[in-house]
């Protein structure tokens, strides 16, 4: 499953990825005007119209003795996409582990195990309130799909430039951390000197 997804995301098969990407964006954009049930039913009807037309065409050829009775979709019918017991157990275990991790993290954040992490979570929730006002969840999903199909291709083509930017960002982050550590050490040393001076004054 992960291998097929990586093939789609990295555009290894341009035709297949283009179909999936275009279809996904068009379907999601259609949800702005149509309900999900209407969209799914129309898509299913469109697929059924195509498959029925092809099936009737092959049946007509068979009646005219131009076709030896081959089914046009036999390869799809023979394909076994069912999961084995082992794969099903692995998927269920992964889902349970993800749910348990999410519950543990939310419990840790809501009940203030770490003040800094909880404050970051509060800031994220506050920013999401503004995001909710400016846009909808469907718009974010469309943006996520476009990013998912665009960023790997962009990284593949601009790999050297992106790595230089990441290195520059890490270098800047390191300098800022070093500067903050120096300021903190200076403040702590000045406080220690002030405390030592007070103790000397008290001793006198």
pLDDT, position 52: 93
pLDDT, position 45: 92
Q: Which residues contact 10 (CB under 8 A, 6 or more apart)?
A: 152, 153, 156
Q: Which residues contact 124 (CB under 8 A, 6 or more apart)?
A: none
**Which comes out higher in pLDDT, residue 26 or 195?**
26
Instruction: Using a pLDDT cut of 90, give the percent of the chain over it.
Output: 12
In a domain, 167, yes or no: yes
pTM, rounded to two decimals:
0.57
Distance CA 32, CA 37 (A): 13
Distance CA 33, CA 201 (A): 78
Region 1-10 average pLDDT: 71
Query: Is 131:141 a contact under the CB 8 Å cutoff?
Result: no
Tell me which residue range forms the domain holding 201: 163-204
pLDDT, position 3: 66
Confidence of residue 144 (pLDDT cuts 50, 70, 90): confident
- Mean of per-residue pLDDT scores for the chain: 83
Provide the residue count of the chain. 204
pLDDT, position 98: 92
Q: Which residues contact 154 (CB under 8 A, 6 or more apart)?
A: 162
User: pLDDT digit string (tens) for 62-120?
Assistant: 888 777 777 888 888 887 767 777 888 888 899 999 999 999 999 998 998 888 888 98
In a domain, 201, yes or no: yes
In a domain, 175, yes or no: yes
pLDDT, position 49: 93
Which of 3-17, 61-75, 122-136, 186-200: highest mean pLDDT? 122-136
Q: Residue 204 pLDDT more than 70? A: no
User: pLDDT digit string (tens) for 160-174?
Assistant: 888 888 888 888 888
DSSP the chain: -HHHHHHHHTTSSHHHHHHHHHHHHHHHHHTTTS-HHHHHHHHHHHHHHHHHHHHHHHHHHHHTTSS-S--TTHHHHH---PPPHHHHHHHHHHHHHHHHHHHHHHHHHHTTSSHHHHHHHHHHHHHHHHHHHH--HHHHHHHHHHHHHHHHHHHHHSHHHHHHHHHHHHHHHHHHHHHHHHHHHHHHHHHHHHHHHHHHHHH-
Confidence of residue 123 (pLDDT cuts 50, 70, 90): very high
The domain tally of the chain equals: 1
In a domain, 65, yes or no: no
pLDDT, position 2: 59
In a domain, 105, yes or no: no
Q: Residue 5 pLDDT more than 80? A: no
In a domain, 46, yes or no: no
In a domain, 170, yes or no: yes
Q: Which residues contact 148 (CB under 8 A, 6 or more apart)?
A: 9
């Amino acid at each position: 499953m992960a291998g097929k997804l990586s093939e789609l995301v990295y555009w290894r098969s341009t035709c297949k990825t283009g179909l999936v990407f275009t279809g996904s964006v068009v379907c999601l954009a259609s949800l702005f005007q149509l309900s999900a049930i209407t969209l799914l039913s129309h898509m299913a009807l469109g697929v059924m119209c195509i498959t029925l037309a092809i099936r009737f065409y092959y049946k007509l050829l068979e009646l005219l003795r131009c076709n030896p009775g081959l089914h046009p979709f036999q390869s799809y019918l023979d394909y076994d996409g069912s999961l084995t017991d082992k794969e099903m157990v692995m998927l269920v275990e992964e889902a349970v582990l993800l749910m348990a991790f999410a519950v543990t993290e939310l419990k840790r954040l809501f009940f203030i195990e770490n003040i800094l992490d909880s404050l970051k979570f509060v800031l994220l929730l506050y920013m999401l309130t503004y995001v909710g006002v400016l846009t909808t969840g469907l718009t974010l999903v469309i943006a996520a799909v476009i990013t998912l199909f665009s960023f790997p291709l962009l990284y593949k083509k601009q790999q050297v430039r992106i790595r230089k930017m990441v290195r520059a960002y890490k270098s800047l982050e390191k300098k800022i951390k070093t500067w903050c550590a120096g300021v903190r050490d200076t403040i702590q040393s000045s406080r220690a000197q002030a405390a030592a001076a007070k103790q000397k004054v008290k001793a006198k």
